[in-house]
Structure 1
Amino acid sequence: MYLGIAEEEDRKLAESWKADADGILVFTGLFSAAVAALLAISIQDIRPNPQDTSAFYLANIYQLVANANGSNVTISSSLSNPSTSFSPPNWAVWVNSLWFLSLAISITCALLATFLQQWARRYTKITQPRYGPHKRARIRAFFAEGVEKLHLPLAVDALPTLVHVSLFLFFAGLLVFLFNINHTAFTIVVWWVGLCIAVYICITVMPIFRHDSPYYAPLSRS
């Protein structure tokens, strides 16, 4: 009787872990691709323009050749060495920092999700060995206690929280980026992000006031 109930609970627990991991892997894969695509554009703002560098060295070569021929040629002050005079704007540094951090967290979540899948398979395997009922019950109780003591359910619940943190960091970087690119686009997006944040807060706090609420967020406390 005990083993039957325990095996059913373990099976449901492992399936829920796998389902959470699958969802996180799909989301982080798509999300990371989107962030990486934007980073390929925004990273140009924090490093010198290769065309400016080429123009600087070509101008120096031209000056050397002209001076060797007796001509007095000077380089325009606007063609200073980009490698020494370049300083990225603060907003570009913030945007890239937020997006790189968001990407790093997203990839970390994907890695942890793959670990979670492996842990779920291993837990199912080791808690249902081919032994006698008494020994199987002792093994199951031993590993179930380990799951509780090592706070594995808490670690599983923390994964969606990290995904949400990654998403919020991306939104923050996006708003900074659009604010310095186009104010109309910034206004439209900031309204949408504000609406999403308001809905997220409502979903988070709703279980506190409505215990029958089906809505739930990682930070909810029911």
Structure 2
Amino acid sequence: MSNSSGSTPKEAGNQEKLARSNDENPDVNSGIEPTLLWKENQPYFCAPPNNGDPWTECLNSVRRFDDEKCKGWREDIDTLLVFAGLFSATVTAFATQSYQWLQATPSPQEAILLRFLHTTELYNRALDVTTLAPPTPASVRINAFWFLSLTISLATVLLGILCKQWLREYQKDASVSHHLALELRQMRLESLQRWGVPGILNVLPLLLQLALVLFFAGLLDLLWSLHPVVAGLISAVIGLTMFIVVMTSILPACYIVMVGQRQRSLDTEIFPCPYKSPQSWLFYKLVLGLFSLVSRRKLESTDWVSCDLHLLRAWLSRNQELYFCSVVFSGLR
């Protein structure tokens, strides 16, 4: 008698054995090694490490992040406070001599006449009619430069002290649960950024540099009114210093712009400019704003780290494309 499906009894037996084998080992045909299902109370094959409460670990991680960031800010503020103190003392020494030039003084001829009249009874009447010489324009400029420099330096000290107080309050712990402590920390971090505290911290060194430039301007004005040779030497040194400051402020932004222009040829290693500072970041934001205005594309960068990561990702992506193209072309040959 033949089988209803048209197969012989021998073939039917082989198919039954194969079906039984597949039922017993379902992973044979799929090429996957047979695995055992995990059951409750059985040990894990790759058990995750038990490091304690996850909220505690998360809180410790964000605290390490805050400690590192705030430590860097505090070190910068301390350095600025020390420099501002020394600089203010230097400017004060010059200002105590220069402020006397603003007082109205008699001319040399009038001074001789006043000495003569001082011995006579006509001194009081002569003093009323004597004309005192006003301060020279150079004296006014020099004192304006130096006293403005001193004021900005002391204002920087005051702002630095305020910033240290803000950072201390930002890191102050609260006796609450770890979950609530994380929410409190996130609220403080967003408030710190929303109210512009990082921007104020970046402005502090710019204020000190502005005070230093004003002091140099007053010093050069004084020297050029006294002796041209000495003034020329000091002008050369100050000019070279200002040139270095300006170049190191614009080079990081120029490098990023040049890399963006030759993005298609990123087949070599990239070397981002290390001259990163608050003034260079300010110039880069200005360039970024102009580029966004011209191209009508909004480009966002929070700090220099994000810029470096963008360059690195672009370079890696370009290298992967070049590697893929080389593999394809080599396979076509």
- TM category (shorter chain) comes to 0.7 to 0.9
Q: Deviations over 1:20-76 (max 9, x none)?
A: 1101110000000111101112222221459x898665533433279xxxxxxxx7x
| 2:179 maps to amino acid | H
Aligned twin of 1:194: 239
C-alpha contact (below 8 Å) 2:105/2:132 kept by paired residues: no
Take 1:178 and 1:118, find their aligned partners in 2: how far apart are those partners? 41
2:209 corresponds to 1:153: no
Residues 24 and 160 of structure 1 are in contact (CA less than 8 Å); yes or no, is this contact kept in structure 2? yes
1:71 alignment counterpart: none
When residues 56 and 216 of structure 1 are mapped into structure 2, their CA distance, relative to the original with a 3 A threshold, is: farther
User: 1:1-222 maps to which residues of 2 (within 5 A)?
Assistant: 1-49=57-105, 58-64=115-121, 81=130, 84-125=131-172, 128-210=173-255, 212-220=272-280, 221=284
- Please, which runs of 5 or more residues in structure 1 have no aligned partner? 67-74
Secondary structure class of the residue paired with 1:62: coil
Tell which has more relative contact order, 1 or 2 (C-alpha 8 A, sep 6+).
Answer: 1
Measured in 1, the distance between the counterparts of 2:114 and 2:86 equals 41
CA displacement, residues 121-169 of structure 1 (integer Å, 9 cap, x when unaligned): 11111xx323111110111111111001101100100111111110111
Measure, in 2, the Cα distance between the counterparts of 1:65 and 1:150.
Answer: 67
Change (3 A) 1:56 1:7: farther
Task: For residues 155-204 of structure 1, give each alpha carbon's deviation from its aligned partner in whole angstroms, at most 9, with x where no partner exists.
Answer: 10011111111011111111111000111110001000110111001110
In 2, the alpha carbon distance for the partners of 1:171 and 1:187 equals: 13
Rounded Cα–Cα distance in structure 1 between residues aligned with 2:214 and 2:105: 27
TM-score (norm 1): 0.84
Answer 1 or 2: which has greater helix percent: 1
Larger CA Rg, structure 1 vs 2 = 2
Partners of 1:173 and 1:217 in 2: CA distance: 26
| Cα distance in 1 for residues equivalent to 2:154 and 2:112 | 38
TM-score (norm 2): 0.58
* Per-residue deviation, residues 96-123 of structure 1 (Å, max 9, x unmatched): 0010000000000011111122112111
Q: 2-side partners of 1:31 and 1:10: how far apart?
A: 31
How far apart are the structure 2 equivalents of 1:56 and 1:139? 77
Residues 121 and 54 from structure 1, CA distance in 2 versus in 1: closer, same or farther, beyond 3 angstroms?
farther
Do the aligned partners of 1:15 and 1:120 also contact (CA within 8 Å) in 2? no
Q: Which amino acid aligns with 1:209?
A: C
The alignment's C-alpha RMSD in Å is 2.7
Percent identity between matched residues is 29
- Is the CA contact 2:206–2:278 (under 8 Å) kept in the aligned structure 1? yes
Distance in 2 between the 1:54 and 1:176 partners?
A: 27
The 10-residue stretch of structure 1 (4-13 or 98-107) with the greater mean CA deviation from structure 2: 4-13
1:213 Cα shift?
A: 2.0
Secondary structure of 2:121's aligned partner: helix
* CA distance 1:61–1:188, shift in 2 (3 Å): closer
Structure 1 residues 57 and 6: CA distance shift in structure 2, 3 A: same
